[in-house]
Amino acid sequence: MGQGRQEQVARSLAGAVSEEISASLAPVDAELERRYPGDPGTRQPVHTVYVPGDAFAADTIRTWGDRALAALDEHAPDAGSFAAVLGLSDELAEPVYTRVRAKLEHEPIEDLRVDFEDGYGPRPDAEEDETAARAARLIAEAYENGTAAPYMGIRMKCMEAAVRDRGIRTLDVFLTGLMAAGGLPDGLVLTLPKVTYAEQVGAFVRLLEAFEKAHGLDAGRLGFEIQIETSQSILAGDGTATVARMIQAAEGRATGLHYGTFDYSACLGVSAAHQASDHPAADHAKAVMQVAAAGTGVRVSDGSTNVLPVGPTAKVHDAWRLHYGLTRRALARAYYQGWDMHPGHIPTRYAAVFAFYREGFEQAAARLARYAGRVGGDVMDEPATAKALSGYLLRGLDCGALDIGEVARLTGLTRADLEGYAAPRRGDLTVSAQ
């Protein structure tokens, strides 16, 4: 209290007014909690790697890591040469390069999808059945022996009439195989491609419900990603945002929205030479996805580039610069995940991600430390900003760009502290830090 006389506090409204208003808004409060639960607080992989079903093998993850390391050895054998290709500062060159190599040695792939859609194509039923059963066995074995990626699963064929039965059958064979091998792994991810109508999402939910009931699984155990690859998935015939309807139709099971660069671009008539994740059409689609997903707990992923880093060194360097630039661009726009289609893309994926977190680390840590200690500075941060700063540091920790020791040293906070700031109660975001 300041000095001087104490102010008299008077009120005009009876407590019943507040109670009546609260009662009238109770349905809205419940709807907010249901529709917008916030980020789940789990790790989000920085990329998804797609491997055709017939090409997936027990050593796929290790093989991709080895091929990525070989590409570095051949085309950028030290920190200086790699930094020169990508334009990294002298300060970032060594820590980024060292971390990239360590990542490729110990966890080259964060999320792997065995593909039964475009990357696999139409096959005889017996062949696809066998491939799906084999994928289930190999993934189960990988989780059992510790060689799995943090996240693994399949992309089935879509729910359109021509391939619907085949997609359902593949999913059934795959999931049944996992159950027979010991159950569903925690890192299981399913991807539903080429969704055009929310009703297709609803039908997929019924399919997953049927499998859960058949095996006595908890309701909601199976979640899935929705792949956004058609114009109809962004804008419905009545002018509404279809993707928002899809999230609702998933009934809490949607975990991600993945942008399909080339199918979506082709759907809009973009010529092949200009189909890229930085095309204005791509930016529009992802912006709609991002707004629709905000607060729902559904995460947005960017797509891929089809320019492969293969051939002579000059050509590899050009492809690396393109991929690095696209990844940095996506990160700045809060698309923290993307697709990688070739082992040669992995070094620049991690280089872009690690540079993004390391170059902003000290400033973010200092701002969060000031906020946590209620110490003034040249930026006045509020709870929403503290949430963003904590989320930034947690993402850096999860992917290996940052170490918990250096984060703790600069912030004075534990990981549990960071998680608390990153996932505040809804009301906390309306209260100023000052």
Whether residues 399 and 256 share a domain: the answer is: no
Whether residues 405 and 343 share a domain: the answer is: no
Give kind and range of the element (H or E) at residue 330.
helix 313-332
Q: Are 154 and 174 in contact (CB under 8 A)?
A: yes
Residue 31 counted as domain residue: no
Q: Is the pTM of this model over 0.85?
A: yes
Residue 30 counted as domain residue: no
Whether residues 261 and 381 share a domain: the answer is: no
Whether residues 340 and 375 share a domain: the answer is: no
In 74-204, DSSP assigns E strands to 111-115, 151-155, 188-192
Residue 34 counted as domain residue: no
Residue 3 counted as domain residue: no
Whether residues 384 and 328 share a domain: the answer is: no
* Final residue of a structural domain among 321, 338, 357: 357
Backbone angles phi and psi of 388, in degrees to 5 = -65, -40
Tens digit of pLDDT per residue, the chain (434 long)?
456 788 899 989 888 999 999 999 999 999 999 999 999 989 999 999 999 999 999 999 999 999 999 999 999 999 999 999 999 999 999 999 999 999 999 999 999 999 999 999 999 999 999 999 999 999 999 999 999 999 999 999 999 999 999 999 999 999 999 999 999 999 999 999 999 999 999 999 999 999 999 999 999 999 999 999 999 999 999 999 999 999 999 999 999 999 999 999 999 999 999 999 999 999 999 999 999 999 999 999 999 999 999 999 999 999 999 999 999 999 999 999 999 999 999 999 999 999 999 999 999 999 999 998 875 555 555 788 899 999 999 999 999 999 999 999 999 999 999 999 988 654 544 433 33
Sequence-separated contacts (24+) of 173-177 with Cβ below 8 Å: 173/129, 173/132, 173/133, 173/136, 174/132, 174/133, 174/135, 174/136, 175/136, 175/211, 175/222, 176/136, 177/132, 177/133, 177/135, 177/136, 177/137, 177/140
Whether residues 211 and 353 share a domain: the answer is: yes
Whether residues 302 and 365 share a domain: the answer is: no
Residue 27 counted as domain residue: no
Whether residues 157 and 223 share a domain: the answer is: yes
* Final residue of a structural domain among 357, 389, 418: 357
Whether residues 217 and 287 share a domain: the answer is: yes
In this structure, what CATH number is given to the domain that contains residue 129?
A: 3.20.20.60
Number of domains composing the chain: 2
Q: Which domain does 415 fall in, by range? A: 360-430
Residue 334 counted as domain residue: yes
Backbone angles phi and psi of 257, in degrees to 5 = -115, 120
* Final residue of a structural domain among 357, 383, 406: 357
Whether residues 239 and 319 share a domain: the answer is: yes
Residue 36 counted as domain residue: no
